[in-house]
Amino acid sequence: MTTVPRLTGEEKTVTTFPAPYAYNYLATDKWTLNFMLHNLLPNKTQVWITYDLDFIAADSPAAAGMVAARPIWMDVENGKVYPVFDVIRGSGHDGTFSYPDDADNPYGTNPPANEWTADADGVLIATAGHLHPGGLHTDLWLDRDGQRVRLFQSEAHYFEPAGAVSWDVAMTATKPDWAVAVRKGDVLSVSATYDSATASWYESMGIMVVWMADSTSGGPPGADPTTTPVDQPGILTHGHLHENDNHGGEPAADDFKDLTKAPSEPVNGTVPIDGWVYGQGDMGLATAVPTIAPGQAITYDNIDAPLGNGTWHTITACKAPCDQSTGIAYPIANADIPFDSGELGVSGPPTAGRVTWSTPTDLPDGTYTFFCRIHPLMRGAFRIDSNAPATQP
DSSP state of 6: P
- Higher-pLDDT residue of 3 and 44 is 44
Model confidence at 106: pLDDT above 70: yes
- Name the residue ranges covered by the structural domains of the chain: 21-244, 249-393
Neighbouring residues of 359: CB distance < 8 A, sequence distance ≥ 6: 292, 297, 298, 299, 339, 368, 382
For 129-149, what is the mean pLDDT? 97
Summarised one tens digit per residue, pLDDT across range 62-87 is 999 999 999 999 999 999 999 999 99
CA dist 274 and 54 (Å) reads: 46
CA atoms within 13 Å, Cβ hemisphere of 322: 32
The percent of residues in the chain predicted with pLDDT above 70, rounded, is 97
Is 65 within 8 Å of 58 (Cβ atoms)?
Answer: no
Amino acid (1-letter code) at residue 299: T
Would you give the end-to-end CA distance of the chain in angstroms?
33
For 316-335, what is the mean pLDDT? 97
Summarised one tens digit per residue, pLDDT across range 267-292 is 999 999 999 999 999 999 999 999 99
The pLDDT of residue 308 is 63
In this structure, the dihedral spanned by the alpha carbons of residues 256, 261, 265 and 268, taken in order and rounded to 10 degrees, is 30
Model confidence at 183: pLDDT above 50: yes
Radius of gyration of the chain, Cα coordinates, nearest whole angstrom: 24
The percent of residues in the chain predicted with pLDDT above 90, rounded, is 83
The pLDDT of residue 315 is 98
Model confidence at 38: pLDDT above 70: yes
CA dist 9 and 151 (Å) reads: 29
The pLDDT of residue 6 is 52
The pLDDT of residue 1 is 37
249-393 falls under which CATH superfamily?
Cupredoxins -  blue copper proteins (2.60.40.420)
Fold of 21-244: Jelly Rolls (2.60.120)
pTM higher than 0.85 for the full model? yes
The pLDDT of residue 193 is 98
Amino acid (1-letter code) at residue 132: H
